[in-house]
Chains A and B, each alone.
Chain A
Amino acid sequence: MSERMSDLHKLTGAYALDALDDLERARFEQHLAGCDDCRAEVAELRETAALLAGSVATPAPASLRDSVLAGISQVRPLPPEVPEQAPGSTHRGRRWMPFLVAAALALVLGVGAALTRPWVGDDAPRLTVAEQVLQAPDAQEVSVDLGEAGRATVVRSRSEDRAVIVTEDMVAAPDGKDYELWLQTPDEEMVPAGLMPDDPDQTVVLDGSAAEAIAVGITVEPDGGSEQPTSDPIALFDLTEGV
């Protein structure tokens, strides 16, 4: 990673113009949190970009003003952020807490994750689900290398009717976004299979029946996930290969 640092610095322009894809953006935001020079440059370049918008100024329809003013009368501004927060880990950690609690019920966390998360630890029978899948005699494994963004492996067992995803060194989802998991049915429908917590290394059991799935996908979705994928998958694990 370090030999690519100088490359990362050059992404300030593309980042300021929202010209990075979701994974690059996530990676760059990680870098940005610790790089004062890049943060300062991004701020200036965003300011510059905003001046470009002046060249395409177009009178807004009156209906826009009406709907904006009607909208704000129904929403309270957020409370101020009390301590100064970098868009880094503390923010992220806090954001994920409610999800992790819900995850103990809705999404079955695997063995590796459970060891470091005592608050889901008493859910003993569920812990073995990931293990059972990983050790099943018919376990089928597909890995996808995400380059700088890490590596992920899906293991599916038809006999267990479950799929597990194991990530290594996976970059956190971009600010304001979540990774969502999908099971693709034989008729190519994408069925939501849960959100991924933001840890780089984890083992997550996908929601839903996996025996018939032809693929597992990961997409980047707005916070909280979507009913249907809103973008192309960043990784697609083809479960029909090598069976």
Chain B
Amino acid sequence: MTDVDHVRPVPDGTPQGVPSAGDAARLADLLHRAGLGDEAAFAEFYDATSARAYGLALRVVRNPAHAEEVAQEAYLDAWRSSTRYDRSKGSAAGWLLTIVHRKAVDRVRSVEAATARDETWNRETAPTEHDQTAEEAHASLDAARVRSAVATLTDVQRRAVELTYFGGYTHTEVATLLDVPLGTAKTRIRDGLIRLRDLMGVAS
């Protein structure tokens, strides 16, 4: 999965390519303006985040049409609750992607989508028409950084994190999939994430 391009670990946890403070502040400002009803600001916020939001939804639900619905619902939720975003509690992108992930997971876990997930594995079908955004330019850099951090995880940690975050499985399901005790799955997910947090220099 994400470890195919093995990149050497980031030296001594120095945060590299972490979205710059200016970038994060800009997104938070845009969201704040959106809360005041500024649609143009929200459009800008969309342009800066849509590749990640859509990519995450697609990775979890797999079906492009469903992914689009999930992302659309998430953005509408984000617009509606933009006044509730508190920048002291985290980044605007992180806030948005939390909404996207929650919706994507709800989608794959609902009875209706459970069948769809089994039937469709066509995420490689590239959309024919898409927006080119500046976000894409940063994406490969981010991806390399994430891959290098992920490469330092133990095999169980990595698979536990990937199966939960990208697969949308519960920790109980992950324990079964990886054939480890339930307590182990829970701990590996947390240990793995904490390691990634430290390597990628995430601070609250």
Contact = CB atoms under 8 A, between A and B. Distances in A.
Given A20-B171, A56-B56, A57-B135, A232 B190 contact: no
A232 B135 CA distance: 39
A136 interface: no
- Chain A interface size, under 10 / 10 to 19 / 20 to 34 / 35 or more: 35 or more
B53 interface: yes
Interface stretch (A64-72, A103-111, A127-135, A191-199): A64-72
B59 to A, nearest CB: 4
Interface residues of B, number: 87
A12 B189 CA distance: 9
Interface in A67-102: 67-69, 71-73, 75-81
B76 to A, nearest CB: 5
B202 A48 contact: yes
A14 interface: yes
5 interchain residue pairs of minimum CB distance: A13-B190, A54-B142, A60-B54, A58-B55, A59-B130
Contact of B50 (A44, A45, A65): A65
B154 interface: no
B94 A10 contact: no
27 contacts: A11-B186, A13-B189, A13-B193, A17-B189, A19-B164, A19-B165, A20-B170, A46-B90, A49-B165, A50-B93, A52-B165, A52-B166, A53-B55, A54-B146, A56-B56, A57-B135, A57-B139, A57-B142, A67-B72, A68-B72, A71-B72, A71-B76, A80-B84, A81-B84, A230-B110, A231-B109, A232-B111
Contact residues of B: prevailing secondary structure: helix
Contacts of A17: 101, 161, 164-165, 189, 193
A49 B200 contact: no
A53 to B, nearest CB: 4
